[in-house]
Amino acid sequence: MLISNRVQNMPPHFFSSLVKKVDAAKAAGMDIINLGRGNPDQPTPAHIIEALQQAAERPETHGYSPFDGIPEFRQAIAEFYKREYDVDVDPNTEVAVLGGSKIGLVEVPLAMMDEGDLLLLPDPGYPDYLSGVSLANITYETMPLLKENGFMPDFDTLSDEVLQKAKVMYLNYPNNPTSAVATVPFFEEAVAFAKKNDIFILHDMAYGGIGFDDEKPVSFLQAEGAKDIGIEMYTLSKTYNMAGWRVAFAVGNRQMIEAINKLQHHLFISLFPAVQHAAIAALTEDQACVRELTALYEGRRNVLIDECKRIGWDVEAPKASFFAWLPVPPGYTSEAFADILLQQAGVVVAPGHGFGTHGEGYVRVGLLASEERIAEAVQRIEKLGIFTASEA
């Protein structure tokens, strides 16, 4: 069978190897507590499902969507940004409807970059950023996210050679996997840096709806001048438990939006119109479901952190997202530690090295199980005796 070089050269998917390990453990009869995944465990709110059902019954939703999405959805997106972030968005020129933000993240290099151009990526970062690198046949340079910098990139460490070649930079806050949050001053620094060096910014805000301790994550577009050089991508997957619905959007710089839309005109005919109507309901109707979901994750976070500290695991509480970024105990690599937890305790975590070189030394733990199961997971880890010394 003929397979293109483009497909053959794509990087192996990090999570596929983790899934194989989990499936093998389950096949061996182990009771697995899976804290390594990134898939929301709660159902989509009922009023969103009802909106889909009602829209699907209308014959006008059965045909092709307009290429750029239905006008009502683009308007709802603009209203959402004004309400949540006090950011003005033109629904006609500053919105791109996406079939999930992963599609958008992979599309941007194809839409905006030429072969050999350089993309700046966070390290650690979402592994699928590299898919766009491979498909577009571009190069990339990583920006280390270090604990001492609050898991923020230090732009001053980038060489002149890299800055001359760089065309696009990805940022991601609340961050996956570190759960770090950004501030408007940081985004303003990023905007000034990007303008100085003629670099466009894509801010991946997948976890923007989930902030703890009464602190709401900020939008990149709240920084002055952000729309001059960047866009933000927002998915309904996490905020509204709509992961399987595959609906997201990009907002911001008109040239970047135009490039994305033009590419999508050749690849897709937007989303099933009934799904867009359901997305309108999610963005514009009562947001109590978001507050309830955030409270659920915050309760799980508190259980996880309290239990970890009880057994002597020195951890910090995440401020946002549904992940915790926990340090690996001395003497273990992230993969070796994750393997021990799976094989000896039946607890799945994602080893940090899978998110980049600077993810080594950590594991990502998802808040995607009940409080009882999270507590049980830590209790199982306690029985391994790994943290006994530090507890003493």
Residue 25 is predicted with a pLDDT of: 83
DSSP type of residue 230: E
pLDDT grade for 390, boundaries at 50, 70 and 90: very low
DSSP one-letter string for 314-340: -----SBSSEEEEEPPTT--HHHHHHH
pLDDT grade for 3, boundaries at 50, 70 and 90: confident
Residue 93 is predicted with a pLDDT of: 98
Fold of 5-44+288-391: Aspartate Aminotransferase, domain 1 (3.90.1150)
Write the pLDDT tens digit of every residue in 136-150: 999 999 999 999 999
Fold of 46-284: Aspartate Aminotransferase; domain 2 (3.40.640)
CA atoms within 13 A on the CB side of 197: 25
Q: What does the alpha-carbon distance between residue 85 and residue 105 come to, in Å, rounded to a whole number?
A: 22
The mean pLDDT of 20-44, rounded to a whole number, is: 90
Picking from 322, 325, 341, the residue whose alpha carbon sits closest to that of residue 384 is 341
Q: What angle do CA 19, 295, 232 make, to 5 degrees?
A: 70
Write the pLDDT tens digit of every residue in 177-235: 999 999 999 999 999 999 999 999 999 999 999 999 999 999 999 999 999 999 999 99
Q: Per-residue pLDDT for 324 more than 70?
A: yes
Give me the residue spans of the domains in the chain.
Answer: 5-44+288-391, 46-284
Strand order in the sheet with 362-366: 323-327, 362-366, 350-351
Residue 17 is predicted with a pLDDT of: 75
